[in-house]
């Protein structure tokens, strides 16, 4: 293993698998001491994050709006009486942001809407001689969107979550986002995004308390059917704890990008893409897999050269030290084998002919083909939602899409003769399961 600065190069595959490619369960998360010390300040005792989240959820279920105001004071250091952002503030925010940013958000919203309008989503009924079978596809009644608003407020996340819900025809969409310090104002870019998307109800509440409010309802915030959107550890744990009482898009953890590159990849561009990922937070993962050691070394050098120019350099260096690195493989086939094991949120193919390899991809939240389809475009303006499965859940989960906002109801309408013909096999299976009342109900139909 070679290291320059904090970004390592692994030439031993087994070592890489036990290090940067290793997946840890959220249930096995070892809370940093700083988080536990923070709990002492808020709760007056040492609590693990999951225990703190449980206590917050219980308090919101019991105390409603007043509990939310209390958590706003304790956690976000804001003292606001009215949780709902007034309508006029949304339009004022849209007018206050720079015109070029407003135009960029409009462009993003249009592309996100156009992309999701292409997704097939319809009911179907197959009517035959023996009756009709089918599926009814209906939107959920309501959706709650969580939008991070801390050190890096994310208006793009509002667009990426709310617009697919609108395309799916969800009738009620609300947003919860943390209040700002001091006066409690939400970041104007987030309010502007809400105005552009046509979302009317934005609430000034964040963290686990916001998830609890949307899951169970308060005097001001309605209970929703599904909660979507990424957040910090406490938001993720809260979504995990309320799941079952409400639907969720997934337990979305720290973001991650995995690049597969060949010898002809541009080291400068690869380094820029990895640094953009590391910029999110110290737990973000920025990984390169390549059969070319010379490329990995060139990327390593480029990262060190580019890093000092960025405002979040300290965060980026810590991310690269903890979660970043390069893995040297025998060939590209082995690179794809490792990528499928890792199941990255973002899989970027910096290859001469990326389409040749697309058939090798089994597990990924999103695939970015070629150096012109860089992941930052996916974050903002490409079109697909940037809410994608993390932590290896791309093995079984999908990016946020219309199916997250609908439910499917099976339709069964058999004719009498068909029902009689199916009675005998139904009786046989029922008796095999020792369910004699089931068998009797089927037998009565056959004897009529």
Sequence ranges of the domains in the chain:
2-19+254-396, 87-248, 415-447
- Which tens digits make up the pLDDT trace of 1-18? 555 557 899 999 999 999
The pLDDT assigned to 31 comes to 65
The order of strands in the sheet holding 247-248 is: 201-204, 172-177, 142-146, 226-228, 247-248
Please give the average per-residue pLDDT across 433-446, as a whole number: 94
CATH architecture, domain 2-19+254-396: 3-Layer(aba) Sandwich (3.40)
User: Cα(235)–Cα(53) distance, rounded to whole angstroms?
Assistant: 8
346 is catalytic: yes
* Nearest partner of 407 among 40, 143, 41, judged by Cα: 143
Across 24-38, 63-77, 402-416, least confident range: 24-38
Q: For strand 7-10 and strand 2-4, is the pairing parallel, antiparallel, or unpaired?
A: antiparallel
pLDDT digits (tens, 9 = 90+) for 184-231: 689 999 999 999 999 999 999 999 999 999 999 999 999 999 999 988
Distances (CA, A) of 265 to 109, 133, 288, 351: 31, 52, 11, 7
Provide the pLDDT for residue 79: 86
Domains 2-19+254-396 and 87-248 share a fold: yes
Do 115 and 160 form a contact (C-beta atoms < 8 A)?
A: no
What order do you get walking across the sheet with 7-10 strand by strand?
Answer: 2-4, 7-10, 325-328, 285-290, 256-261, 346-350, 366-369
105 neighbors 260 (Cβ within 8 angstroms): no
The pTM (predicted TM-score) of the whole model is: 0.92
pLDDT at 63 > cutoff 80 = yes
Q: Which of 187, 346, 386, 404 is catalytic?
A: 346
Is the pLDDT higher at 79 or at 31? 79
Look up the CATH superfamily of 87-248.
Nitrogenase molybdenum iron protein domain (3.40.50.1980)
Name the catalytic one among 256, 279, 302, 345. Answer: 345
pLDDT digits (tens, 9 = 90+) for 329-372: 999 999 999 999 999 999 999 999 999 999 999 999 999 999 99
Q: Mean pLDDT across the chain, nearest whole number?
A: 93
Q: Give the pLDDT mean for 73-81.
A: 88
Q: Is 116 a catalytic residue?
A: no
Per cent of the chain over pLDDT 90 is 82
Between β-strands 131-139 and 406-414, what pairing exists: parallel, antiparallel or unpaired?
Answer: antiparallel
Structure tokens at 239: 């979504």
Confidence at residue 46, expressed as pLDDT on a 0 to 100 scale:
82
From CA 220, how far away is CA 218, in angstroms rounded? Answer: 5
Judged against a pLDDT cut of 80, whether residue 428 lies above it is answered with: yes
- Of 304, 377, 386, which is closest to residue 116 (Cα–Cα)? 386
List, as one string, the DSSP characters of 106-148. HHHHHHHHHHHTTS----EEEEETTEEEEEEEEE-SEEEEE--
Q: What is the pLDDT of residue 266?
A: 97
- Cα distance between residue 426 and residue 414, in whole Å: 14
Per-residue pLDDT at 169 exceeds 60 = yes
């Amino acid at each position: 293993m070679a290291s320059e600065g904090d970004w390592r190069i692994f030439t031993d595959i087994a070592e890489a698998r036990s290090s940067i490619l290793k997946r840890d369960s959220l249930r096995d998360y070892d809370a940093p001491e700083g988080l536990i010390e923070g709990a002492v300040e808020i709760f007056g005792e040492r609590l693990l994050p999951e225990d703190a989240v449980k206590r917050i959820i219980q308090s919101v279920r019991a105390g409603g709006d007043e509990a939310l105001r209390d958590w706003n004071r304790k956690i976000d250091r804001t003292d606001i009486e009215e949780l709902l952002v007034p309508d006029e503030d949304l339009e004022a925010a849209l007018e206050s942001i720079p015109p070029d940013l407003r135009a960029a958000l409009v462009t993003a919203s249009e592309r996100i809407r156009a992309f999701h309008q292409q997704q097939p989503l319809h009911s179907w009924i197959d009517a035959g001689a023996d009756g009709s079978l089918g599926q009814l596809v209906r939107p959920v009644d309501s959706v709650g969107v969580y939008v991070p608003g801390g050190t890096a407020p994310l208006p793009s996340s509002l667009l990426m979550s709310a617009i697919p819900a609108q395309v799916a025809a969800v009738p009620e969409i609300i947003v919860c986002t943390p209040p700002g310090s001091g006066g409690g104002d939400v970041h104007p870019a987030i309010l502007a995004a809400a105005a552009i998307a046509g979302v009317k109800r934005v609430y000034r509440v964040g963290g686990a308390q916001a998830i609890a409010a949307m899951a169970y309802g308060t005097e001001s915030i309605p209970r929703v059917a599904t909660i979507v959107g990424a957040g910090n550890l406490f938001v993720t744990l809260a979504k995990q704890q309320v799941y079952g009482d409400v639907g969720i898009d997934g337990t979305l953890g720290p973001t991650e990008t995995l690049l597969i590159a060949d010898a002809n990849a541009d080291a400068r561009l690869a380094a820029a893409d990895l640094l953009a990922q590391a910029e999110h937070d110290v737990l973000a993962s920025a990984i390169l897999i390549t059969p070319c050691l010379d490329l990995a070394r060139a990327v390593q050098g480029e990262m060190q050269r580019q890093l000092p120019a960025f405002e979040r350099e300290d965060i980026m260096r810590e991310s690269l030290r903890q979660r970043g690195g390069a893995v040297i493989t025998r060939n590209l086939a082995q690179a794809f084998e490792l990528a499928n094991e890792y199941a990255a949120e973002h899989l970027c193919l910096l290859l001469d002919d990326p389409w040749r390899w697309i058939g090798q991809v089994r597990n990924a939240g999103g695939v970015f083909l070629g150096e012109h389809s860089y992941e930052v475009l996916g974050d903002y303006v490409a079109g697909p939602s940037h809410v994608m499965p993390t932590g290896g859940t791309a093995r079984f989960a999908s990016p946020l899409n219309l199916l997250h906002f609908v439910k499917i109801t099976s339709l069964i309408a058999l004719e009498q003769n068909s029902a009689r013909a199916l009675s005998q096999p139904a009786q046989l299976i029922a008796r095999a399961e020792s369910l004699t009342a089931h068998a009797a109900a089927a037998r009565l139909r056959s004897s009529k």
